[in-house]
Structure 1
Amino acid sequence: MATTPVSFDDLPEPVRAAVEARTGSIRNLLITDRAHRVDWGWATRGAAWLDAGYWAVWLIAAGGHLPGEAEAWEERIPAWRSEPADGVEVFAEANARIWEEIAEADPDPWTDRMVAAAQRWRDFRKGRS
């Protein structure tokens, strides 16, 4: 799978704040006003544009972006610009459903924010078709 480098400085602040550290037992850190360990246990192989798709939900949930603003950041990623629109809509729907399922099994305020963000992005994508 080919990747295209993107300057770290060109990424949105919430994404720049997600720093992957490969030292000791800490795998990922989220740096805001303090450091948080982030579990990226869902890492998997897939289309290059999927990472940018996940960013949409994170930018909406944690960064306070509107779905269109989140997608404007995604447009800066070459793989995103070549994504199939119907594939993104299916991905957005699946992402909303998985967060709904997670929230049903283990509700908490953070999960609720992720559900709301995933639903907002899914609804935004549906409105574009």
Structure 2
Amino acid sequence: AYPYKKAISDTASDWLWDPFCFENGVIREYKDMKVEAGEEKEFLIIGCAMPVYPKILVFSDAPESMRELVINDVSTDISGVTSGYVSFPWPLSYPLSDGENKIRIENTSSHSVLVSIVFAEGRL
């Protein structure tokens, strides 16, 4: 049996006021987080009860400069991207856990990138 209820929207979508619960709701908006060239940033990602392996979306206006993205010390090759957003699976062997997850992203390219961490909340 699959015990989780999944959210209608994901973390890259605009969140809606109408279905939002102000008592226990969490706004998970992880779209287009900017990481400058050569910069290393840490983001706080709020996980959910359902273990998830999010999808990573990366956008650069100069995709030829993109070589790799380092997420929590795991290097992911993103060379070969020709334009726009590139989507690749979660590079870590463990899922996001319930509660706070710190994600460190290092941009080794010579241009800034926009990173989105995409998943839909699941709860019991």
Q: What interval of TM-score do these two structures reach, taking the shorter chain for normalisation? A: under 0.3
Higher strand proportion (structure 1 or 2): 2
Higher helix proportion (structure 1 or 2): 1
Normalising by structure 1, report the TM-score. 0.25
Normalising by structure 2, report the TM-score. 0.25
